């Protein structure tokens, strides 16, 4: 089973700054099935990025995904107040979805 | 616009069976092309995928839960359901239903979630 490890656990930034979130897989994976989600307090997760780098419908271009193999990144530019939330990476392989443990993006 | 809505008991006693239903609106479960999942999130914890079902009735399950779960689909009512047997306090969580495409591009539609507490 592939394990996804996200870092950092918590990222403290100010509005207007840029954020870089990391997701590392325990073995090389296909980026085709690598996704990122945002979860605000009290809400369900929302798909941001699929296929490692494609934005989901309605997601602003401030959000960008990249990476291959074992290392994937979610970059968020010009942070807005609503961006401060939890972020999860997720991979699908061999009939199993796995999620990273999450990164909390908090206001500094 | 596709919407998912979970329903079921908020409180279940230990050793009993939990049953949840996800009602789909804005799309037909008979049309195919999507996988319908259950995911749970323990309090202040991360996300755990439970399993999914295709409109044909084919299912996949998380190996860690496989012995206790079943997922079914009722296309006449346009809903799918989760059954979790022999629950314990460790099954206390928010349960979400969600949709993915046949290409497994990511869970693009989620229900709002329903909180289930296992307690006597």
Torsion angle (degrees, nearest 10) of CA A22, A26, A31, A34: -70
State how far the Cα of A17 lies from the Cα of B99, in Å rounded to an integer: 33
Instruction: Find the closest chain A residue to B47 by CA distance.
Output: A99
A91 DSSP assignment:
E
What is the rounded distance in angstroms from the CA atom of residue A80 to the CA atom of residue B53?
37
The 10s digit of each residue's pLDDT in A18-50 is: 999 999 999 999 889 999 999 999 999 999 999
Q: Find tokens 């972020």 and name the residue.
A: A87
pLDDT at B101: 92
pLDDT by position in tens, chain B (length 120): 999 999 999 999 999 999 999 999 999 998 889 999 999 999 888 999 999 999 999 999 999 999 999 999 999 999 999 999 999 999 999 999 999 999 999 999 999 999 999 999
Q: Confirm if A45 and B107 have CB atoms less than 8 A apart.
A: yes
What is the Cα–Cα distance from B101 to B109, expressed in whole angstroms?
A: 10
Verify whether the Cβ–Cβ distance A100 to B46 is below 8 Å: yes
Minimal C-alpha gap between A4 and chain B (Å): 12
| Closest residue in chain A to residue B62, using alpha carbons only | A96
Integer Cα distance of B68 and B37 in angstroms: 16
Q: Contact, B9 vs B114, CB < 8 A?
A: no
Q: Kindly provide the b/e burial profile for residues B37-51, where b requires at least 16 CB atoms within 10 angstroms of the residue's own CB.
A: bbbbbeeeeebbbbb
φ, ψ of residue B90 in degrees (nearest 5): -70, -10
Whether the predicted pLDDT of A69 surpasses 90: yes
> In angstroms, rounded to a whole number, what is the distance separating the alpha carbons of residues A51 and A49?
7
Report whether pLDDT(A100) > 90: yes
d(CA A104, CA A84): 8
**Burial call A69-100: b when 16+ CB within 10 Å, e when fewer:** eeebbbebeebeeebbbbbbbbbbbeebbbbb
pLDDT tens digits for range A78-90: 999 999 999 999 9
Confidence of residue A102 (pLDDT cuts 50, 70, 90): very high
Residue of chain A with shortest Cα separation from B40: A44
Encoded tokens for A32: 């085709």
Query: A-chain residues within 8 Å CB-CB of B47?
Result: 45, 88, 90, 99, 102
- pLDDT for position A87: 98
**Per-residue model confidence (pLDDT) at position B49:** 98
Q: Hey, are the CB atoms on A88 and B46 less than 8 Å from each other?
A: yes
The minimum CA-CA distance between A37 and chain B, rounded to whole Å, is 9
């Amino acid at each position: 089973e592939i394990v996804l490890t996200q870092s950092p656990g918590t990222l403290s930034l100010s509005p207007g700054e840029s954020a870089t979130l990391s997701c590392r897989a325990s073995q090389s994976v296909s980026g085709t099935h690598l996704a990122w989600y945002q979860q605000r307090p009290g809400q369900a997760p929302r798909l941001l990025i699929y296929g490692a780098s494609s934005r989901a419908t309605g997601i602003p271009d401030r959000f960008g995904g990249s990476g291959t193999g074992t290392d994937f990144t979610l970059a968020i530019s010009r942070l807005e107040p609503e961006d401060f939330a939890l972020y999860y990476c997720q991979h699908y392989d061999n009939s199993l979805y796995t999620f990273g443990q999450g990164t909390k993006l908090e206001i500094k | 616009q596709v919407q998912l809505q979970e329903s079921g008991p908020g409180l279940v006693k230990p050793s009993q069976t939990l049953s949840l239903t996800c009602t789909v609106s804005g799309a037909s479960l008979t049309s195919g092309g999507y996988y319908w999942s259950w995911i749970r999130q323990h309090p202040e914890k991360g996300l755990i995928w439970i399993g999914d079902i295709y409109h044909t009735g084919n299912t996949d399950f998380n190996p860690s839960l496989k012995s206790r779960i079943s997922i079914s689909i009722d296309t006449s009512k346009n809903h799918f359901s989760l059954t979790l047997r022999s629950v314990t306090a460790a099954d206390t969580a928010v349960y979400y239903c969600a949709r993915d495409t046949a290409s497994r591009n990511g869970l693009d539609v989620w229900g709002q979630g329903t909180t289930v507490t296992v307690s006597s």
